[in-house]
């Protein structure tokens, strides 16, 4: 009634009928609201974010059945549209690509149906589970019902697009917050390679591998020290001798003697015993047999009784009586001053001969006793164990004039500090030059307790020491009977 074409002036009702089926929005209480085109878009956005929710067009409310508006609409709706002054153009269908995009974004209009199809047919297709509806409602992007046709439907698409874009924006905001939170960590990861490398702990020089390029320092298993050059060995050996000369300026043979004969006999008796024991024994021997001729004619049993404290008294008795006879018979009772003559005497070897030559005649010689052998091997002067080879190896490191004093320095140091079983490394004056440092006690306080003789404030081995020894604070040894 009253219908006319587009030129008749009543185009609103005609447009409504041509636009396709109109939709009704059912509120929670069943009230139907008819809104203008702009209000419909706002209602769609608000309805998607409210907890009350709306029933999409074409879907029956709870307890009811789906309703569909005839294609022509109603005269009341047309009148209402005309009264509000809103003109509507024929609604355009959304392109298929746009619909697919909306579906992918999860914001496709719930109530849009193709023209000529009823909402009842589409209801099963658009039915959503309760969980999905709640999720959509919580996110504020659930589709809302659409109420008007024509321009209203056309304007709803951009609005819905805005609503759909809310999700990506929210996701972008969340990802931005996450990125901001992770930014320091990522920054640290970037700076870590550029930061200066920590200084590696490097092992001592003896256990350090060569470092090349920019590779970090490495610690390797300890290796034997590099082979010392001949020049370096000579310099180190001579420096050790100079250091010991400052420590023992009073070094001397620790055997009491008044002539070469007494020194020769005392040296033969010192084998396998201490100089102290010899010094306590020889006074009685020389009192009874002062010359080689007297001792050569002595009763062996009486001599053995005197020499008993020295140990190996029978063998030593044979030696002293035999050399005395040789001196009396071959050398006129005098001790020869040549090495080749001395070594021919019974019980006399190179060590004894050098003691006599160096201390009685002033002729240089190296005395290779047990202390001397031990120390030169510790100091890496030689690896030899044979006394003759040790003598030759050490003699090549020093000038001949130093041989006698060198022997005293080494022997004195071995008796007072560098002991065989427990050397006092912590109190050693040549510790920086010693390759064997650390074999003994390195604690200074404990090492001092290991010192002997004058270094520990105790008596020495000689009953009649030289004045230089007494001036340095040395104490004479007590006689044998006083013990």
Residues annotated as catalytic (active site), given as ranges: 351, 369
* HSE value, Cβ hemisphere, 13 Å, CA-based, for 21: 18
Q: Secondary structure of the chain: what % helix, strand, coil (to 5)?
A: 50, 0, 45
* Helix intervals (H) in 150-274: 151-191, 230-247, 260-269
Dist CA 452 CA 420 (whole Å): 13
In contact, 219 and 203? CB cutoff 8 Å: yes
Element (H, E) at 325: helix 313-330
Dist CA 13 CA 19 (whole Å): 10
Dist CA 388 CA 390 (whole Å): 5
Dist CA 371 CA 41 (whole Å): 111
DSSP string, 122-155: HHHHH---HHHHHHHHHHT---------THHHHH
In terms of phi and psi (left: phi > 0; alpha: psi -120 to 50; beta: otherwise), the region of 129 is beta
CB count, 10 Å around CB of 407?
Answer: 27
Taking alpha carbons only, the member of 20, 46, 65, 476 closest to residue 276 is 476
Please list, residue by residue across 190-202, b when 16 or more beta carbons sit within 10 angstroms of its beta carbon and e when fewer do.
eeeeeeeeeeeee
Which token pair is 133?
């509806």
Greatest alpha-carbon pair distance for the chain in Å reads 175
DSSP assignment letter at 21: -
In contact, 255 and 270? CB cutoff 8 Å: yes
Dist CA 151 CA 280 (whole Å): 136
Dist CA 68 CA 122 (whole Å): 11
């Amino acid at each position: 009634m009253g219908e006319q074409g587009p030129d008749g002036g009543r185009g609103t009702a005609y447009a409504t009928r041509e636009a396709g089926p109109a939709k009704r929005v059912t509120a929670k209480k069943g009230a139907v609201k008819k809104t203008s085109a702009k209000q419909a878009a706002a209602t769609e956005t608000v309805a998607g974010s409210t907890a009350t929710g709306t029933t999409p067009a074409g879907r029956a409310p709870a307890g009811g059945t789906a309703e569909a508006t005839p294609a022509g609409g109603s005269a009341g709706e047309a009148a209402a549209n005309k009264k509000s002054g809103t003109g509507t153009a024929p609604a355009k269908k959304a392109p298929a690509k746009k619909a697919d995009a909306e579906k992918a974004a999860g914001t496709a209009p719930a109530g849009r149906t193709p023209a000529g199809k009823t909402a009842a047919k589409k209801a099963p297709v658009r039915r959503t589970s309760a969980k999905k509806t709640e999720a959509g409602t919580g996110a504020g992007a659930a589709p809302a019902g659409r109420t008007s046709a024509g321009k209203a439907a056309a304007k709803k698409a951009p609005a819905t697009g805005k609503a759909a874009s809310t999700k990506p924006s929210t996701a972008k905001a969340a990802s931005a917050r996450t990125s901001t939170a992770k930014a320091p960590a990522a920054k640290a990861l970037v700076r870590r390679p550029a930061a200066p490398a920590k200084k590696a702990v490097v092992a001592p020089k003896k256990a350090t591998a060569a470092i090349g390029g920019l590779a970090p320092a490495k610690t390797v298993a300890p290796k034997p020290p590099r082979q010392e050059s001949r020049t370096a060995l000579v310099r180190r050996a001579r420096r050790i001798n100079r250091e010991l000369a400052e420590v023992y300026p009073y070094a001397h043979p620790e055997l009491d003697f008044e002539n070469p004969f007494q020194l020769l006999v005392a040296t033969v008796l010192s084998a396998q015993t201490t100089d102290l024991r010899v010094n306590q024994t020889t006074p009685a021997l020389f009192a009874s047999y002062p010359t080689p001729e007297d001792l050569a004619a002595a009763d062996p049993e009486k001599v053995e009784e005197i020499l008993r404290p020295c140990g190996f008294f029978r063998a030593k008795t044979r030696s002293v009586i035999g050399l005395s006879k040789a001196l009396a018979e071959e050398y006129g009772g005098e001790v020869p001053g040549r090495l080749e003559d001395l070594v021919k005497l019974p019980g006399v070897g190179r060590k004894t001969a050098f003691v006599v030559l160096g201390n009685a005649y002033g002729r240089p010689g190296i005395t290779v006793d047990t202390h001397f052998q031990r120390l030169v091997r510790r100091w890496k002067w030689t690896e030899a164990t044979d006394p003759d080879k040790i003598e030759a190896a050490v003699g090549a490191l020093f000038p001949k004039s130093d041989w006698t004093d060198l022997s005293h320095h080494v022997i004195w140091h071995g008796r007072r500090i560098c002991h065989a079983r427990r050397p006092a490394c912590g109190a050693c004056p040549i510790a920086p030059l010693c390759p064997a440092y650390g074999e003994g006690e390195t604690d200074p306080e404990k090492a001092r307790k290991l010192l002997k003789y004058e270094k520990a404030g105790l008596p020495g081995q000689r009953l009649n020491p030289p004045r230089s020894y007494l001036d340095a604070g040395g104490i004479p040894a007590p006689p044998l009977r006083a013990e």
